[in-house]
Amino acid sequence: MTRADALQRISELREQIHHHDYLYYTEARPEISDAEYDALMRELRELEAAFPDLVTPDSPTQRVAGQPVDAFRPVAHRAAMLSLDNATSPDDLREFEARLGRALPGTRLAYVCEPKIDGLGIALLYERGRFVRGATRGDGRVGEDITANLKTIRSLPTLLRGALGGVPELEVRGEVFMPRADFEQLNRGLQESGEGTFANPRNAAAGAVRQKDPAVTARRPLDIFLYHVSEGRELGFRTYSDTVAALREAGFKTNPRTEPCATLDAVIDYCRRLEADRDALGYDADGAVVKVDSLEQQWRLGSTTHHPRWAIAFKFAARQATTVVQAIEVNVGKTGALTPVAKLAPVPLAGVTISNVSLHNEDEVRRKDVRVGDTVLIERAGDVIPYVVQVVMSKRPADTVPYVFPDRCPVCGHAAARLPGEAYWRCLNTACPAQLKARLRHFGSRHAMDIEHLGEAVVEQLVDRKRVKDFADLYTLTVDEVADLERFAEKSAVNLVAAIQASKTRGLARLLNALGILMVGERVASLLANQFGTMERLLAASETELNEIRGIGDELAQSIRRFFDDETNREVIRRLAEADVEMAQPGVETERPQPLAGRTFVVTGALSSLTREAARELIERLGGRVTSSVSKKTSYVVVGEAPGSKADDARRLGVEILDEAAFLKLTGRA
């Protein structure tokens, strides 16, 4: 090949690869397969190897290039990278608007809102559309040159398209971040290989952009949103919305949640909606940024030395807080598992007051080295339960001692043990009242026997007075006995006894879940109920028989058998039956053949004649099994309306696909 031909082909390949990078990393809608993409890259690499003088810094092959550095070069920002003023309430936002009104009397104001990404501010420099330099914010005036690291971010265009591609010198600003799912995966990997993990995505992203070796950064899943063009007015943009549109057209990734808001009420509504959605964003956002849309107005408003006057950050309620560990207590679960719990000085966190946080198990306490007297950083990610992120070591008092896990049950004083391979210490006393209380609470819980009014206070008293020693005792309770309990009015006693009686007809699946058999939760319980239909048949099933059921492995089969071999448990079941507690699963014909035994199904998309859940029950009732992902072992993929990638997986793996009609035929419903 001549040099001229190579040059021609190289530029074609680069253009195609840039285009596919954009589709894949920025738009998330690839048009070619990974293999086709790899082939383009391979061809480009080979040509560049044959003609090394044709390699340019913006070539896709140069994403991960450059030698490790000892220190980053300082970069003076052309204009200071400012901070943002904060608002924490709608009133603060109204005050912001009032300030704007005073500064620009008689003008109409309109806004644009977008998520405030909890990442790292960066500034990118492009010369005639070529990415030439990227810098950290630093102290706002001088940052660090991290060009080589930024180039590894695949959604960052190295060549711009459209009008911005022709600008002699263009500076754009944005935020580098690590998507939450990628962060979690990275941490899992680091943990498995015994390396230190990151406390949050922001720290992980900060660590990645300041890596001395770009090859390491390249393995870190970073992403970037751009939100600012310096000198936008000089470039002819009239509004921030125009600017964002131009950024998008140039190939930059801009935030899809960017929204124009014509009034402050719309702004407040946006902030409220975004806060409600914050967990669905896929990345950490700590607020919303509200910006005056008109660039002319922005220019007239100007900036303080700290922040622009035309923008404000509405901060979401904090989900991290620090507080002091006042004590570490140990709770006893329904299987005797001992769970350490840190008692905290109460602290508000994302709308609730936190005074307890689970430390999970001995290893976790040891790993985090949480001690009584420590100040801890706690976090509530989403609406989930708070957890300890880390101890604030700088605040550790001099006299703390490492926590020693007790080897006795804190409630009954019986010996506790941690069996090999188990994460938990367990109280070995099956008659432990704390275990019984936890078991009873579980028995009455919503997904088990669903006994309304069987709250913690009742259970406490019933056990402490030795009136209830097992599940069966519940069904012999009289209204008088319950009314006799402390803080129990006649009416509530009637309600509780009625609720207990009503729970008799919940069916076998719920009963099995309620019994609290080790490793048997809602799913396994319903699997067993559907397979055996009655308690009698289940009691008679051997370990081998149990083990033969898809979805029930050795350990589980053993645990089930061990439970039913225990004479005390059999006695309780006998007495439950005597009390007329339903021991069969309604709708399961026990002697019916199981035509789908041994077959696995994946159901994807919406079916018109039954819900996915109903399809699952149907399959399981006929002896089949349902899994969530397609593998070579899957027997059938049932495809409804708007199926997801699972249908593609099935085609790729050659798994038989059933449409709804074929599925109904197979299951005898049509």
Minimal distance, residue 159 CB to ligand IVH, in Å: 24
Separation of alpha carbons 585 and 568, rounded Å: 23
Cβ-based neighbour number of residue 594 at 10 Å: 14
Backbone angles phi, psi at 552, to 5 degrees: -120, 110
User: Which residues does the annotation mark as catalytic?
Assistant: 116
Of 82 and 190, CB closest to ligand IVH:
82
Task: Specify whether the CB–CB gap between 311 and 116 falls below 8 A.
Answer: no
- The contacts of residue 259 (CB under 8 Å, 6+ apart) are 112, 113, 114, 270
Minimal distance, residue 312 CB to ligand IVH, in Å: 10
Cβ-based neighbour number of residue 259 at 10 Å: 18
Residues forming contacts to ligand IVH in the complex (CB under 6 A) are 81-84, 114, 116-117, 121, 175, 227-228, 289, 308, 311, 313
Of 178 and 313, CB closest to ligand IVH:
313
Of 303 and 492, CB closest to ligand IVH:
303
Q: Read out DSSP for 401-429?
A: ------SB-TTT--BEE--TT-SSEEE--
Of 294 and 569, CB closest to ligand IVH:
294
Tokens of 666: 């197979």
Point out the residue whose Cβ comes nearest to ligand IVH.
121
Separation of alpha carbons 224 and 177, rounded Å: 6
Separation of alpha carbons 383 and 316, rounded Å: 14
Cβ-based neighbour number of residue 603 at 10 Å: 25
b/e per residue 362-372 (b: at least 16 CB within 10 A):
bebbeebebbe
Minimal distance, residue 541 CB to ligand IVH, in Å: 59
- The contacts of residue 233 (CB under 8 Å, 6+ apart) are 295, 296, 299
Separation of alpha carbons 150 and 64, rounded Å: 9
Minimal distance, residue 273 CB to ligand IVH, in Å: 16
Dihedral angle over CA of 342, 347, 351, 355, nearest 10: 30
The identity of residue 153, as a single letter, is I
Q: Read out DSSP for 237-288?
A: --BHHHHHHHHHHHT----TT-EEESSHHHHHHHHHHHHHHGGGSSS-EEEE
Q: What would you report as the CA-atom Rg of the chain, rounded to the nearest whole angstrom?
A: 32
Minimal distance, residue 82 CB to ligand IVH, in Å: 5
Minimal distance, residue 274 CB to ligand IVH, in Å: 11
Of 110 and 525, CB closest to ligand IVH:
110
Of 119 and 623, CB closest to ligand IVH:
119
Of 84 and 650, CB closest to ligand IVH:
84
Strand partners, 602: 637
Separation of alpha carbons 483 and 337, rounded Å: 32
b/e per residue 87-116 (b: at least 16 CB within 10 A):
beebeebeebbeebeeebeeeebbbbbbbb
Of 176 and 459, CB closest to ligand IVH:
176
Helix (H) or strand (E) holding 375: strand 375-379
Of 10 and 274, CB closest to ligand IVH:
274
Minimal distance, residue 288 CB to ligand IVH, in Å: 8
Q: Find the distance separating the first CA and the last CA of the chain, reported in whole Å.
A: 64
Minimal distance, residue 179 CB to ligand IVH, in Å: 15
Of 227 and 316, CB closest to ligand IVH:
227
Q: Read out DSSP for 348-364?
A: EETTEEEEEEE--SHHH
Minimal distance, residue 81 CB to ligand IVH, in Å: 6
Minimal distance, residue 302 CB to ligand IVH, in Å: 11
Task: Specify whether the CB–CB gap between 228 and 84 falls below 8 A.
Answer: no
